[in-house]
Homo-oligomer: A and B are copies of this chain.
Amino acid sequence: MISVRNTRSDVIHAAGRLFAERGYHGTSMRDLGKELGLLGSSLYSHVESKQDLLVEVVEEGARLFEAVAEQARATPGTARDRLAALVAGHVNVVLDNVNVARTFLNEARMLDAEHRERIVEARDHYEGVFRSVLADGVGDGSFRSDIDPKTSSIYILSVLNALERWYDPAGPLDRDELIGDLTTFLITGIG
């Protein structure tokens, strides 16, 4: 009595899985059908096109990260507290939605021009939140006064986004240790 019929949501999530594993162009509609136990052609009763699937997955990613930004901005306390919220929130999104995060980070460039632009804007906005938290933190003494908020936010996001590439939830480092270790690294460096 397992799974009688697939929903649109099932299709989108399976697409996220395959796009994350094999890439958008490495995934055929027939591959995706097989993953769901149906034919490639049957997918078109759930979505209009393959591109449509990529749009859905990538935009889900954008929404998840945007929610992190909003929640962090609403966090009371110092800029350092808000940065901690950004870091923890970002880690949680990546670890709880690896496939969506992977597709968002690696396959968004395969989007058609129109959708790609919207995602670039969303990404810029998200990075802007990091930047302004860092700038605030320079003002309130949370961070060093000689950092450049622009490059620093990119460095921080580089470390956070790369999690998708190496973090193993079954490995020795649990989520809280990861967040702690990461935060220490970002704030104190290795020196």
Contacts and interface: CB of A to CB of B under 8 A. Distances in A.
Contact of A186 (B22, B24, B26, B190): B190
Nearest to A166: B154
A190 B57 CA distance: 33
A30 B85 CA distance: 48
Interface string A151-191: 11011111101100110000001000000011001111111
A159 to B, nearest CB: 5
A10 interface: no
Number of copies: 2
A135 B178 CA distance: 19
A106 interface: yes
A147 B134 CA distance: 24
Contacts of A26: 23-25, 110
A189 B181 CA distance: 13
A144 interface: yes
A191 B188 contact: yes
A143 interface: yes
